[in-house]
Every structure is written in C-alpha cells, then in structure tokens.
Structure 1
Amino acid sequence: MSQEQQLLNAVDYVLSEAKRQGAEADVIVNGSNSFSLKANQGQLDEYKVSSSQVLGVRVVKDARVATSYSESLEHPSLDLMLTNALQSARFSKQDEHQAIRCVDSKITTEVAEIAQQDSASVDEKIELSLALEQGVVSRPHASSSPYNGYGDSETLSIIANTQGTLCQHFERAFHCYAYTLFEKDGKQSMAGKMSLGRRFDELDSTYCIEEGYNLARDLIDGAPVATGNYPAIFHINALSSLFGAFGSAFSGVSAMKGITPLGDKLGQRIASELITLTDAAFMPNGMAIASFDSEGFASQDNILIANGKLNTLLHNSQTASYLGVVSTASASRGAKSSLDVAANHRVIATGQSSASDVKAGKYLELVELQGVHSGADAVSGDFSFGASGFLCRDGQRVQPVRGITVAGNFYKMLQEVEAVGDTQLINDSRTFFAPDVRFARLSIGGK
C-alpha cells in the first residue's frame, strides 16, 4: 500500500470516529521525505535520509474546540489522539466563531512546476555538495565554509473534514547553500547565499559560492558610519526579513486578540501611495504555491495595501466570523498546531522610478540584518537591530558598513517612501517579490 493510501485510510478512520462520537472535525496530514548532505574539509560530514508523517485533528463539539496529533497511523494511536482532543475540548471555552465551515471542497494542487521528477543521481548530489565547499575555500582569504549543504524534499499534504472536504497537495523542492568565512589582516567577515529550485538542475551553486564570497570580501573592511538619519534601501533578502518580522500586523488573529494597530484601520492610509502589497497564491517560480488553505478553501490573491490604503487583513473562517468580515482563505494550521493565518507570497508592486532615480544621491544599502525578530515589536512598530551594508552614492558603493544599529518604526517607515523601482526582484527563498524601495530616513547608530 502506498504512503498516500495509508494516509487517506487514516483520515477516513479518524473522521468516521469523530462523527460517531458526535463531533465535527477536520484533519491535516503531512507526510515528507527528505535527503541532505553537508561537506567539511573535502569530505561528506553529513548524509541524512529521513521521512516523517503526522496526522493532526481539530475537533469541535458543543462549540468547544481542541486539537491533538499522532505520528502513528495505527488505530489504537489514532483512537488515543481523538480521545485526547475530545477530552480537552470539554474543558475549553466555547467559541461560536470556530467551526468546520468548508463544505465538500475537493481541490488538488495541479501546478506541474511544483511536482517535477527528481532525475538526479545520488552521485551528482554528492558532487554538488563537495563542490560547494571546495568552491569557497579555493578562493583567496576564504579560510573555510562553515555552513554549506545540499538538500531535497517531497511533501504530501491532505486536508479533510466531516463536511465532505478532501484536498491534496504534493510538491518537491531542492536547495543548496554556501557561506564564506573571509579572513584578512586579522579581520573576519562571513556571508552566504542560497539557491532553491523545483529541479536539481535549477540549482545555481556558482551563485551561492561567488555571491557569498564576494559579499564577505566586500564587507571585510566595514566600519560604522556616523550616527544620524539616512535614506535607506534594503536588499531584497533584508526587506523580506523586515516585512516577515511584522507579518503579524496584517493577521486577523492579531486583530481578533487586539494586538495589531491595523485592526481598526481598514480603508485608511497606512503607507505611502507608492506601496501596494499583495498576498499572492501563485507566483511563477514561487516556493509557496498552494491551491487551498489549511481549512480547504480555494486560495486567492489578497491585496493587503492598495496604493497606501489598508484593504484587508488575512483571515481564516474563525477570524472572519469574529470580526464580521469576509474570509481571505488564509487559514494556516500544521498537524501539531492550532488555527492561524499566513500569507503565501508577499508581493510589493513595481513603481515608476528607474534604478538611477531610486538610487540617486547618498543612501545606505542594507544587505544583512541581525536579530530582526527579537528586535521588532509588531504592536508598537518599533524596531532596533544590527545591520551591515554599504554607504552608496548614485548607485555606487562608496564604503562598506558594519557594526551599526538600525532603528525606526515600521508603520512610520511605510509612510515615508521616496521611490519604488520599476523592476521586480525575488528573495533567495522565493517567497517575497519586490522592487527596490527607498525609504526617506532611518535612524542609524554608528560612531
């Protein structure tokens, strides 16, 4: 019997038992197989093959909700999981807004690009892994590649419920990465890059090696700039990290709990009119493509900010019911977690400014951020974290910058956008798409 059929049989069993015991339920199943390699001093340091499967259930009985999960598909284990959930539900608060609402949804993600065959041999993967480290350490002043590796995975997800919903998703992904530790004249600098793809031959090991090495080399002589306010442009990876740190601000769950300042600002201007931010279900070459959310509703594009005005937050059926709005089909729940919301691909729309206009005059290019999540407060919008980058003038790097602190307020920063570029860029994880965005001022703590 295939893994898929075993999972489907387990799903049917759990849902039948839940109904027999007078409860509504939905089930999330995640099955995965993964393979990873790492190199150290010219030898394989890690050769890892792993697989996992976990089934999680959410039960709703008498308007009381609880979750539980099992990593075994044997009936006694599934019975214990369901019993634990039903007993926990008896002691939970009643929640009229959380219910099994997705009825008879039958969706299978049918996007050919996310489920391509793995035609590469193990020897080819080992060769790539060793080449990543060797490519770094063969370069001048590159003392080591402390972090490097290759990996691939295949994931099967099933969403089903007692209302007749059954949705399935399968995808395959590949990645590789390499970091360079650059040492010269008693100084050290480290940087790295990652390449992701849907096929082995999409991986760009040269990009990982060269771009990581070049950045580490270029930052080696970095020093703090004078303390003050600077216009700033975040590298696409850094901009993705920044928006990720404040992702909960656009969450209907946060609005339901009263912990986002955007909860009562629908239709109001919260950003420069140059900013349009969308949660896109599908993006070409994106790594977060899915045809349905974690409740089984069909995924959709959601415009969060339209020309500076807040258009919607991200909602699942619970938050939509609680706040009296329409769901955005953004439910997110793992087999081991409770109901939440999440974006697929975050996309900032391109603007009208050319590269020369966006990068005119003096500004800071911020390429790496340290401690982003620990240094960000999504409620107040305040942030403070370490950063590295370059002081630039008219698109040219003038001097490397390290050892600075970047501080500001995310919500204020959104309103102080000077220019938005006309060319779309994509971050290394292929989940964030944005042009260059020039922010008018950030507070820099330097020398």
Structure 2
Amino acid sequence: MSETNTLEQAVEHVLELAKKQGAQADVIASSSESFSLKSDQGELSEYKVTASQVIGVRVIKDEHIAISYSESLEPENLSQMVNQALTNASFTKKDPYQKIRSEGLILRTEYPEIFQQDSATPEQKIELALSLESRIREKPLAKSAPYNGYSENSATVLLGNTLGTRCSHQERTFSCYTAALIDHNDKQAMHVAASIARTFDGLSPDKIINDAYEMADALLEGEPIATGQYSVIFEQDSLNDVLGAFGSCFSGESAKRGTNPWRDKVGEQVMSPLLTFKDVAYMPGGFSIKAFDGEGFATADTPLIENGTLVGLLHNSATSAHFGVAHTANAGRSAKGTLSVSSRHDVISAGTSSEAEVTAGEYLELVELQGVHSGADSISGEFSFGASGFLCRDGKRLKPVRGITVAGNFYTMIKEVEAVGSTVMPNYDGCFFAPLIRFARLNIAGK
C-alpha cells in the first residue's frame, strides 16, 4: 500500500471515530522525507536521512475545541488521539466562532512544477556540499567557510473534515547555502548566501559562492557613519525581515486578540499612497504555493493595501465570523497546531519609478540586520536593529558601513516613502516579492 493511501485511510478512520462520538472534526496528516549534508574542513560533518509522519485532529463539540496528534497511524493510537482531544475539549472555554465550515470541497494542488522527480545522485549532492566550502576557501582573502550545506525535502499533506472536504498537496524543495569568512588586516567580515529551487539542477551554487564572498569582502572595511537621519533602501531579505516583524498588523487573529493597531483602520490610509500590498496564492516561482488553507478552503489572492489604504485583513473562518466579514482562506494549521492566520506570498506591487530615480542622490543601503524580532514592538511600531550596508549615491556604493543601529517607527516609516521601483523581485526563499522601495528618513546611530 502506498504512503498516500495509508495516510488517507488514517484520515478517514479518525473522522469516523470523531463522528461516532458526536463531534465535528478536521484532520491533517502529513509525511515528509528529508536528506541533508554539511561539510567542514573538507569532509562531511553531517549526512542525515530522515522520514516522519504525523496526524492531528481538531475536534469541536458543544462549542468546545481541542487538538491532539499522533506520530503513529496504528488504529489504537488513532483512537487514543481522538479520545484525548475530546477529553481536552471538555476542559476548554467555549468558542462560538470556531466551527468546521468547509463543506464538500475536493481540492488538490495541481501545479506540477512544485513536485518534480529527483534525478540527481547522492554522489552529485555530496560533491555539491563539499565544493561549496572548498571553492570559498580558494578565494584570496577567505579564512574559512564556517557554514556549508545541502538539503532537500519532499512532503505530502492531506486534510479532511466531517463535512466531506478532502484536500491533498505534494511538494519538493532543494536548497544549499554557504558562508564566507574573511580575515584581513585585523578585520573580519562574514556573509551567508543561499539558494532554493524545485529541482537539483535549479540550484545556483556559483552565484551563492560569489555572493557570499563578494559581500563579505565589500563589508570588510565597513565603519560607522555619522549619527543622523538618512534615506534608506532595504535589500529584499532585510525588507522582508522588517515587514515580518510587524506582520501581525495584517492579521485578523491579532485583531481578534486586540493586539493589532490596525484593527479599526480598514478603509483608512495607513501606508504611503505609493504602496499596494496583497497576499497572493500563486506566484510563478513561488515557494508557498498550495491549493487550500488550513481549514480546507481554496486559496485565493487577498488585497490588503491599495494605494496606501487598508482594504482588509487576513482571516480564517473563525476570525471572519467574529468580525462579521468574509473569510479570506488564510487559515493556518499544521497537524500539531491550533487554528491560526497565515499568509501565502507577500507581494508589494510595482511602482512607477525607474531604478535611477529610486537611487538618486545619497541614501543608505542596508543588506544585513541583527536582532530584528527582539528589537521590534509590533503594537507601538518602534524598532531598533543592528545593521550593515553601504552609503550610496546615485546607485553607486561609496563606502561600506558597519556597527550602526537603525531605528524608527514602522507605522511612520511606511507612510514616508520617497519612491517605489518598477521591477518586482523575489527574496531568496521565494515567499516575498517587492520592488526597490526608498524610505524617506530613518534614524541612524553611528559615530
């Protein structure tokens, strides 16, 4: 019997057990296989092959909700899991908004590019992992390559509920990473670069080797700049980090908890009119493609910001019922997790400015941030991060900058946008897409 058939049988068995005890339920079952390699000092320091499976149930009975999960698919363990969930539910506070609502939907992720056959041999993968380190160490100023690795993961996810919804999803990803550590003239700099792809041949080892070394080399002589206010352009991954630290402002779940400062601002201008932001279900080359959300509803695009105006929040069916609005199929839930709200691909739309216009005059380009989540208050918007980058003028880097702190208020920063570029680019992991965005003024603590 195939692995998928085994999971399907387990899902059906759990749903029958829940129905026999008068409960509504949804079940998520997942299995995964992963392979990872790490290299150090010219040898493999890790060779790991793992496989796992887990099944989890959310039961709802008399408005009481609870979850339980099992890593065994044996019938007695599944029965114990359901009984444990029902016992737990009897002790929980009633939640009238959380219900099983996806009825009779049959959904399957039908994008073949996200689950392709793997034709590469283990020898090719080992060669790649070892070459990442050796090729960095060949660089003239490289002291070492302290982090190098390769990994791949294949996953199957099934979702079913007592209202007849059945969903399935398969995906496969490959990734590799390396770090260049440069030690020269009593100064050190290190940079990490990574590549992610849907096939082994789609990885870009040459690019990440060059990116890691060249960025470490470029930052080596970096020093603090004068304290003051600067226009700032964040590199894609850094911008994603900043937006992620304040991502709860788009969450219906945080609004329901009362911790979202935009809870009552739908219809109001909260960003610069130059910004349009949406959650996108399918992006070509994206790595968050899935046909259904954590409740079994079909995923779709969700507009969030239009020309600076907040047009809505991300909702699951419970948060939407709480606020009396349409849900957006943004439920998050894993086999082991409770119901939450999550996004798919965060996309900022292209603006009208050319790259030359965005980079005109003097500005600070920030390529590395430290302490992003510990240095951010998502309610007040205040933030303070360590940062590295370059002082630039007219698109050219004048000098590297390190040992500075960038600070400000997120909700003010996103209203003070000077220019938005016309080309949308992905970050390294294909979950965030945005053009170049130039922010008018942020506080830099330097020398």
**Same fold, TM-score > 0.5, yes or no:** yes
**Which residue of structure 1 lines up, in the alignment, with residue 409 of structure 2?**
409
CA distance in 2: counterparts of 1:371 and 1:432, whole angstroms:
20
**Which residue of structure 2 lines up, in the alignment, with residue 388 of structure 1?**
388
Deviations 1:41-97 (A, max 9, x none): 111111110011111110000011001111111112111111111011111111110
Deviation at 1:163, TM superposition (A): 0.5
CA distance in 1: counterparts of 2:446 and 2:29, whole angstroms:
49
Deviations 1:78-136 (A, max 9, x none): 11111111011111111110000000110000001101110111111111111111111
CA distance in 1: counterparts of 2:88 and 2:59, whole angstroms:
10
CA distance in 1: counterparts of 2:160 and 2:68, whole angstroms:
15
**Which residue of structure 1 lines up, in the alignment, with residue 106 of structure 2?**
106
CA distance in 2: counterparts of 1:229 and 1:77, whole angstroms:
60
**Which residue of structure 1 lines up, in the alignment, with residue 262 of structure 2?**
262
CA distance in 1: counterparts of 2:30 and 2:368, whole angstroms:
33
CA distance in 2: counterparts of 1:144 and 1:334, whole angstroms:
39
CA distance in 2: counterparts of 1:28 and 1:376, whole angstroms:
33
CA distance in 1: counterparts of 2:324 and 2:273, whole angstroms:
27
Counterpart secondary structure, 1:287: coil
Deviations 1:202-233 (A, max 9, x none): 00001110001000011011111111110000
CA distance in 2: counterparts of 1:123 and 1:296, whole angstroms:
40
Amino acid at match of 1:263: R
Amino acid at match of 1:406: V
CA distance in 1: counterparts of 2:148 and 2:406, whole angstroms:
29
TM-score for both structures, normalised by structure 2: 0.99
CA distance in 2: counterparts of 1:146 and 1:54, whole angstroms:
34
CA distance in 2: counterparts of 1:371 and 1:78, whole angstroms:
42
CA distance in 2: counterparts of 1:148 and 1:281, whole angstroms:
32
CA distance in 2: counterparts of 1:375 and 1:27, whole angstroms:
37
CA distance in 2: counterparts of 1:13 and 1:144, whole angstroms:
53
Q: Structure 1 residue 368 and structure 2 residue 368: aligned?
A: yes
Deviation at 1:267, TM superposition (A): 0.7
TM-score for both structures, normalised by structure 1: 0.99
Deviation at 1:366, TM superposition (A): 0.3
CA distance in 2: counterparts of 1:144 and 1:101, whole angstroms:
55
CA distance in 2: counterparts of 1:336 and 1:414, whole angstroms:
35
CA distance in 1: counterparts of 2:117 and 2:205, whole angstroms:
20
CA distance in 1: counterparts of 2:134 and 2:284, whole angstroms:
32
**Which residue of structure 2 lines up, in the alignment, with residue 251 of structure 1?**
251
**Which residue of structure 2 lines up, in the alignment, with residue 179 of structure 1?**
179
Amino acid at match of 2:444: I
Deviation at 1:335, TM superposition (A): 1.0
**Which residue of structure 1 lines up, in the alignment, with residue 237 of structure 2?**
237
CA distance in 2: counterparts of 1:119 and 1:246, whole angstroms:
41
**Which residue of structure 1 lines up, in the alignment, with residue 321 of structure 2?**
321
**Which residue of structure 2 lines up, in the alignment, with residue 273 of structure 1?**
273
Deviations 1:354-411 (A, max 9, x none): 1111001110000011111111111111111101000001111011011111111111
How many residues are treated as equivalent by the alignment?
A: 447
**Which residue of structure 2 lines up, in the alignment, with residue 97 of structure 1?**
97
Deviation at 1:339, TM superposition (A): 0.4
- Structure 1: state its 5+ residue gaps: none
Counterpart secondary structure, 1:85: helix
CA distance in 2: counterparts of 1:377 and 1:340, whole angstroms:
21
CA distance in 2: counterparts of 1:64 and 1:214, whole angstroms:
56
Give the superposed CA RMSD: 0.7
Q: Structure 1 residue 34 and structure 2 residue 34: aligned?
A: yes
**Which residue of structure 1 lines up, in the alignment, with residue 116 of structure 2?**
116
Q: Structure 1 residue 341 and structure 2 residue 341: aligned?
A: yes
CA distance in 1: counterparts of 2:350 and 2:415, whole angstroms:
17
- Structure 2: state its 5+ residue gaps: none
**Which residue of structure 1 lines up, in the alignment, with residue 193 of structure 2?**
193
Counterpart secondary structure, 2:405: strand
Amino acid at match of 2:178: A
**Which residue of structure 2 lines up, in the alignment, with residue 156 of structure 1?**
156
CA distance in 1: counterparts of 2:264 and 2:379, whole angstroms:
13
**Which residue of structure 1 lines up, in the alignment, with residue 23 of structure 2?**
23
**Which residue of structure 2 lines up, in the alignment, with residue 141 of structure 1?**
141
Structure 1 runs of 4+ off > 2 angstroms? none
CA distance in 1: counterparts of 2:159 and 2:311, whole angstroms:
29
**Which residue of structure 2 lines up, in the alignment, with residue 224 of structure 1?**
224
CA distance in 2: counterparts of 1:55 and 1:249, whole angstroms:
31
Amino acid at match of 1:297: F
Report sequence identity in percent.
53
Deviation at 1:424, TM superposition (A): 1.2
Counterpart secondary structure, 1:95: coil
Counterpart secondary structure, 1:391: strand
**Which residue of structure 2 lines up, in the alignment, with residue 66 of structure 1?**
66
Deviations 1:153-189 (A, max 9, x none): 1000111100001100000110011111111011111
CA distance in 2: counterparts of 1:338 and 1:384, whole angstroms:
31
CA distance in 2: counterparts of 1:281 and 1:42, whole angstroms:
42
Q: Structure 1 residue 302 and structure 2 residue 302: aligned?
A: yes
CA distance in 2: counterparts of 1:222 and 1:80, whole angstroms:
59
CA distance in 2: counterparts of 1:8 and 1:228, whole angstroms:
60
